[in-house]
Structure 1
Amino acid sequence: QWTVMKLFNPVASMLMTMALAMKLGMAPFHFWVPEVTQGIPLSSGLILLTWQKLAPMSVLYQIYPSINLNMILTISILSIMIAGWGGLNQTQLPKIMAYSSIAHMGWMTTVLPYNPTMTLLNLIIYIIMTSTMFTLFMANSTTTT
């Protein structure tokens, strides 16, 4: 069985949290997400912004009791604010969706230490909404507003 029971070493916990934040595209490791999403086909963008969130979120879900609360909340709030401001000035739909992904990950990781079940529900709803949006973009061959 693959589980992470408890990270006793605070340095290991911090490094694991930073690595997962980087994989999830959260601030301050978010700079690659909008550019990559803009440069790849919509079907690959769908996979990047939905399917590839499952593994890091499941690991984060398993280690949340040992995560430094101040660190995860700082990363979360930064992600929410930076994505909100970054998404305001965009005209390309894939970039808007990328900033939306960054903000959603921020909200999910903000809630994770307090209500992990709500985080999983939010992740499922996020994946359904994002999949629907990208499917509509692909059906309409839409890339700009």
Structure 2
Amino acid sequence: MFLHPSSFLFLMLLATTIFMIISADSWLMMWLFFEINLLLFIPLLFSKKSKYQSEASLKYFLNQAMSSVLILSSITFLSTSEPLCYCLLCTAFSLKMGVAPLHGWLITISSSISWLSLWLLLIPQKIAPMLIMSTLIKKDSFLLLCVFIILSALLGAWGGLTTPSMKKIITYSSIAQMSWLLTSLLSSTITWVVYFIIYSLITTSITVSLAFMKTNKMNDLLSSKNKLMKTLMMMNMLAIAGLPPFSGFMMKLTLIMKTIEISKSFLLLPLILSSLISLYFYSRIFYMSLMDSSTSKTENNKKIIEKIIIFFNIFSLPVGFLLVY
């Protein structure tokens, strides 16, 4: 299914707003670009013809509007109560990204939107809020950030065990990965950049493969004919779960060492526990993907796209070894 030509315009403008948010020199301008970003993203939610797309766009709008209200409220407390301002900003950006326990809206709309919209929510739309949160890691908001890290690790991993929807599993996995990404902000921005690049490549390869195979439920893996693409996709799932010797293990091992260096080792227990739980339900999907039927011929116009996706899956597996420093 091809995108409408106007969708490419919205995607370019969406990328522009992300750069404008990062480069904004005042809180008011940052809030303004966030609102423009919101208005540009809502039309992209309608790229999938579904009877639930209006409900999904409304839920997304209400939650983003609530986070914008928190940002404006925090600006008013900036001169009087700086600790309260940082806590409100941290809560607002966590709500924008769907960090646990503020992740309810992200789970409910994930199955009602297209794979493209879900990919935009899980990767590009998190860049600006996370970079801004890196400047808010103060003594006053550190405890609140630790609460978000622990809850995201536990709830994100636990939620993936209870749903058969592949979109929800990828969403819960992203919530669990947010705990690692927020932890990487505590060490340095460079560590976050390396982790985010590897996370983005692996998640992109998984979502593109699932979209190409039209896999919405776990049972759909049984009817998929492309054994090679399924195997490579599942290897990427094991990689993002942190199974050695994949790139996901290297990035998590590096972050564990960085966390010990900055004396924040108390965060490692929920992080490692979430990786073990995530590895369990990824292994269950991997087992189902092996129980497939015989291969079949594909159309000529799909073979080129299929080869590109397979190459991207292969590329995303060892890329972590190149980026780990």
Task: Please report the TM-score for the alignment, with normalisation by the length of structure 2.
Answer: 0.42
Q: Kindly indicate whether residue 24 of structure 2 is the aligned counterpart of residue 2 of structure 1.
A: yes
Mapped partners of 1:67, 1:137: distance in 2? 42
In the TM superposition, 1:105-120 aligns within 5 A as: 105-120=178-193
What are the within-5 Å matches in structure 2 for residues 34-73 of structure 1? 34-65=107-138, 68-73=141-146
Partners in 2 of 1:121 and 1:104 — Cα distance?
A: 14
* Residue of structure 1 in register with 2:168 after alignment: 95
Taking the aligned partners of 2:126 and 2:208, their CA distance within structure 1 comes to: 18
The 2-side partners of 1:96 and 1:114 are apart by 28
Residue 23 (structure 1) shift: 0.9
Q: Distance in 2 between matches of 1:69 and 1:128?
A: 29
Q: Distance in 1 between matches of 2:92 and 2:139?
A: 15
SS of the residue aligned with 1:70? helix
Counterpart-to-counterpart distance in 2, 1:76 and 1:127:
19
Residue 87 of structure 1: how far off its partner (Å): 0.8
Is 1:20 the equivalent of 2:42? Answer: no
The one-letter amino acid of 2:151's match is L
In the alignment, which residue of structure 2 is the partner of 1:130? 203
Shift of 1:102: 0.6
Q: Contact conserved, 1:64 with 1:113, CA < 8 A, in 2?
A: yes
Task: Compute the displacement of 1:66 (Å).
Answer: 5.8
SS at 2:111 equivalent: helix
Deviation at 1:91, TM superposition (A): 1.0
For 1:44 and 1:93, the matched residues in 2 are separated by 15
Gaps of 5+ in 2: 1-22, 27-77, 219-325
Q: Which amino acid aligns with 1:2?
A: A
Cα distance in 2 for partners of 1:116, 1:66 equals 18
Write out per-residue CA displacement over residues 43-85 of structure 1, whole angstroms, 9 at most, x where no aligned residue. 1111111111111111112333466211101111011001111
- State whether residues 13 and 66 of structure 1, in contact with CA within 8 Å, keep that contact through their aligned partners in structure 2: no
**8 Å Cα contact 1:65-1:113 kept in structure 2:** no
Q: 2-side partners of 1:36 and 1:29: how far apart? A: 14
* Higher mean C-alpha displacement, 110-119 vs 51-60: 110-119
Q: Give the letter aligned to residue 217 of structure 2.
A: T
Question: Could you say what secondary structure the match of 1:80 adopts?
Answer: helix
- When the two structures are aligned, how many residues end up with a matched partner? 143
Question: Please, what TM-score do these two structures have when normalized by structure 1?
Answer: 0.89
- CA distance in structure 2 between the partners assigned to 1:64 and 1:119 by the alignment: 14
Report which of the two structures shows the higher radius of gyration computed on alpha carbons: 2
Separation in structure 1 between the aligned mates of residue 146 and residue 208 of structure 2, nearest angstrom = 32
Instruction: Give the CA deviation at 1:93.
Output: 0.5
RMSD value, Cα: 1.8
Q: Does structure 2 retain, via aligned residues, the 8 Å contact 1:17–1:67?
A: no
Report percent identity of matched pairs. Answer: 29
Give, in whole Å, the separation in 2 of the partners of 1:26 and 1:116: 19
